[in-house]
Amino acid sequence: MSIPQIAPRITDSHCHLDFPDFEGQLEQIVANAAQAGVTRMVTICTRLRNLPRVQAIAEAHAPVFFAAGTHPMSAAEEPMATVDELLALAAHPKFVGIGETGLDYHYTADSAQVQKDSLRLHIAAARETGLPLIIHSRDADDDMARILSEEHARGAYSCVMHCYSSGPELAKVAVDLGFYLSMSGIAAFPRSQEVRDIFAAAPVDRILVETDAPYLAPPPFRGKRNEPAYTVHTAKVGAELFGLDYAEFAAQTQVNFDRLFTKVAAYETTNGLGA
| Amino acid at the residue 24 | G
Contact indicator for 112, 122 with CB cutoff of 8 Å: no
Q: What is the CATH number of the domain that holds 75?
A: 3.20.20.140
Query: What is the residue-wise DSSP string for 9-34?
Result: PEEEEEE-TTSGGGTT-HHHHHHHHH
Give the C-alpha separation, 103 to 166, whole Å.
Answer: 12
Containing structural domain, residue 51: 10-266
Q: What is the pLDDT of residue 30?
A: 98
Q: What is the pLDDT of residue 4?
A: 47
Tell me phi and psi for residue 204, to 5 degrees: -65, -20
Tell me phi and psi for residue 57, to 5 degrees: -65, -45
∠ Cα 162 27 261 (to 5°): 30
Does 2 fall in a domain? no
Does 3 fall in a domain? no
| pTM recorded for the entire structure | 0.96
Give the C-alpha separation, 118 to 29, whole Å.
Answer: 32
Give the C-alpha separation, 109 to 117, whole Å.
Answer: 14
Of the candidates 31, 7, 16, the one whose C-alpha atom is nearest the C-alpha of residue 213 is: 16
| Amino acid at the residue 41 | M
The total domain count for the chain is 1
Does 275 fall in a domain? no
Contacts (Cβ under 8 Å, ≥6 apart) of 124: 83, 151
Which residues make beta-bridge pairs with 51? Answer: none
Q: What is the pLDDT along the chain (275 residues), one digit of tens a residue?
A: 344 458 899 999 999 999 999 999 999 999 999 999 999 999 999 999 999 999 999 999 999 999 999 999 999 999 999 999 999 999 999 999 999 999 999 999 999 999 999 999 999 999 999 999 999 999 999 999 999 999 999 999 999 999 999 999 999 999 999 999 999 999 999 999 999 999 999 999 999 999 999 999 999 999 999 999 999 999 999 999 999 999 999 999 999 999 999 999 899 888 877 54
Element (H, E) at 99: strand 95-104
